[in-house]
Amino acid sequence: MVKFEGFDFIDGGVCAAKGFTASGVIAGIKAGNTTKRDLALIKCSVRCRTAAMFTKNKVKGAPILVCKEHLKDGYAQAVIVNSGNANTCNDNGIEIAEEMCSLAAESLELEKEDILVGSTGVIGQKLSIEPIRNVITELTGSLSEKGSPLACEAIMTTDTRKKEFAVEFELDGKKCHVGGISKGSGMINPNMATMLAFITTDVKINGELLQNALRKVCALTYNMVSVDGDTSTNDSLILMSSGLAENNEIICEDNRYDTFVNALYAVMMNLARETARDGEGATKLIECIVNGAPNEETAKIVAKSVISSSLVKAALFAADANWGRILCAIGYADAEFDINKTDVELASAKGKISVCKNGAGVDFSEEIAKEILSEEEIKIIVSLNSGDGNAIAWGCDLTFDYVKINAEYRT
């Protein structure tokens, strides 16, 4: 976890913000599943101003289409989410997604239009509503302020670890919170989010500014993650604000807005970073830091290019300091800069080593480099020496297990 000055990381996840409860139960949505939770619910005691971003893939899961319709007024009060089936490319997908909302609404005594829905899992297989119908009373009845870990487990598919963070901070003398959960391990190359992410806050903030903050932070976090270069059909990022912290409403981009944006970044950056760490079959988290770019956009393009390279990812799996692959990935990045000014360093808890200076190799110890690259967290530091633009991107190594997991995904 990366900590930030002025923000205290606390327990509670998606329930850390005032007004929110969550639950997760076993519905048996995927054949043979009798032990893993696969149906989650997040609910607020009040209607929430809600911001959201969804996949840019032309193929969109039915839940996304339903969420967009339900969010036309900018408000929501609960989210129901299943794993094990993406409810995508099905002729009855929208009907099933709407029925999930209806079941939750009836059990919670809310309006159906105030319910959002998410699904993740296998694409192209029909989702039966019966397993969900059978446990809806259990799902709503088990809502709890301590339910975030259960909801977090319920949205996982090939994930090997829960992704759950929350921070506490002050605005106008009031204690405020931002918390969230997310899932994502494979099919991760977001053009806006990750597989599924749900963020909550009790900060009172104008709806337009809430959306602006989400878009801004997403560009620096989830959009800077790549596991395998595939953009999911079901990517959904939802941010709900209860406004129950009793701070004075944020209505302009002042220093209080900046504080909220930084709190959102603290949570979303850690969630995004853990998504990269938990890439399917991954053994290492790769962080590419680019500085000295002509501008921020160039830095982001270069950083994303490096962590998306299959050859770079494979080399780091073997702890091989094959810097030529890194320079190659920098070189085909779709941006303008002088490659002959580029320096590359490799770093980890074991130290730092220079492998490239002014676009050419330098003498270095392969043994020391291998020791540095044998750690679980690796940094690739790229200095373009052409300006003040900086960016960070996160990825993971490419292992034998990634192929095995995805070869056997449906079985």
End-to-end CA, the chain: 34
Q: How far is it, in rounded angstroms, from Cα 307 to Cα 228?
A: 10
Q: Report d(CA 103, CA 41) in Å as an integer.
A: 12
E-strand ranges in 242-383 read: 285-293, 343-348, 351-357, 360-361, 377-383
Run of H or E including 377: strand 377-383
**Residue 135 · residue 105 · CB < 8 Å:** no
Which is nearest to 164 in space by CA: 186, 120, 117, 197? 197
Q: How many CB atoms lie within 10 A of CB 154?
A: 28
Angstrom distance (rounded) from CA 111 to CA 353: 59
Cβ count near 289 (within 10 Å): 18
Compute the distance between CA of residue 264 and CA of residue 150 in angstroms, rounded to an integer.
22
Lookup result for tokens 């399917």: 280
99 near 131, Cβ under 8 Å? no
Clarify whether 50 is annotated catalytic: no
Q: The tokens of 251 are what? A: 């209505």
Rounded CA separation 224/368 (Å): 29
Q: Which of 180, 227, 196, 190 is nearest to 88 (CA)?
A: 196
Catalytic residue among 88, 140, 194, 342: 194
Count other Cβ atoms within 10 Å, centred on residue 36.
16
- Is 370:380 a contact under the CB 8 Å cutoff? no
Q: 78-109 as b/e, with b when 16 or more CB fall inside 10 Å?
A: bbbbbbbbbbbebeebbebbbbbbebbbebbe
Q: What residues are labeled active site?
A: 194
